[in-house]
Structure 1
């Protein structure tokens, strides 16, 4: 079983933890880096649909970037709500070993990251439109590379990633490639309503729950009850497990 999550836009550069390996798709990341290094701050702002301050920060990052130096482990590099609620910095040794075995981070820039892969701070969302080697988007650029690696020695994935990122896996599912997506929602006039901020928090809490309970049988996550969410079989099916906040 593997668990996939999204990255976060906000990143922090620190050396409190040691990285173990280089990312799996570093050759393709090098292609992206070279493309981005040729763009000025205004072009980055337009491409990334961000303001000038963020564009200037990332222009500087890409100009100075060496993919083999100044690296930090991926799991500790992101600072979004999901990662705050996961709180990997306070994981026990057993919990860190658990996520190292099971957790993978999808990334527009790096493709697929293991928790202790050494990375640099960057910004590049998966839905970014970017012309690279006759491809028009990052989905086209990565093609089935990420799904093939994800299911290389595994046939079950728990999807805790956002739709933007899980879209790079979904087209390549099949008979021997099963993915279960967790949906954290509340009911609004009888319909499921997902609140983005709360869903991010719950995804992080789910990773922490799985690590602390050392879960190997996915059925056990139906007992998850953090942040007031509980599993609801009436809204769930074999592809989507719904957790309702009542």
Structure 2
């Protein structure tokens, strides 16, 4: 029996001496150009969403934060769960309008008007 070592393809790992960002950037951008006039709702983690060229594409980021005592933090495992719950909400409710995204309130997260802007929609868990 041969063991398989645990692995994780991290965007900071180099493949053939090239970062995954550089390796995939051109192909991804070429594909996404067909949707150039659309608005991209980005629920990916910061690690993966860095590949989006914000000078070319209209991107609205979704951010999840929660309070740990009196400090607001980005707890990655909680944010990952929230991104999945948001995606489920978008699909189940056939959301097609940015304003409807703001009604998301699962897992204790609610919209933060004070932190949100035209380009970022913030959800906070208290």
What are the residue-to-residue correspondences of 1:214-225 with 2, within 5 Å? 214-225=94-105
Cα distance in 1 for residues equivalent to 2:30 and 2:102: 28
Which residue number corresponds to residue 21 of structure 2? 139
Measured after TM superposition, the shift of residue 150 of structure 1 is 2.2
Report matched runs for 1:15-30 at 5 Å: none
Which structure has the larger Rg? 1
TM-score, normalised to structure 2's length?
0.83
- State how 1:1-246 maps to structure 2 within 5 Å: 53-54=5-6, 124-131=9-16, 136-154=18-36, 155-169=38-52, 172-174=53-55, 177-188=57-68, 191-246=71-126
- Give the direction of change, closer, same or farther, for the CA distance of 1:188–1:124 in structure 2 (3 Å limit): closer
Which structure is higher in helix share? 1
Instruction: Work out the number of aligned pairs and report it.
Output: 122
> Secondary structure of 1:235's partner?
coil
CA RMSD between the two structures: 2.1
Query: Structure 2: where are the runs of 5+ without partners?
Result: none
Q: TM-score, normalised by structure 1?
A: 0.45
Q: Which has the higher contact order (CA 8 A, sep 6+)?
A: 1
Q: Which moved more, 1:151-160 or 1:197-206?
A: 151-160
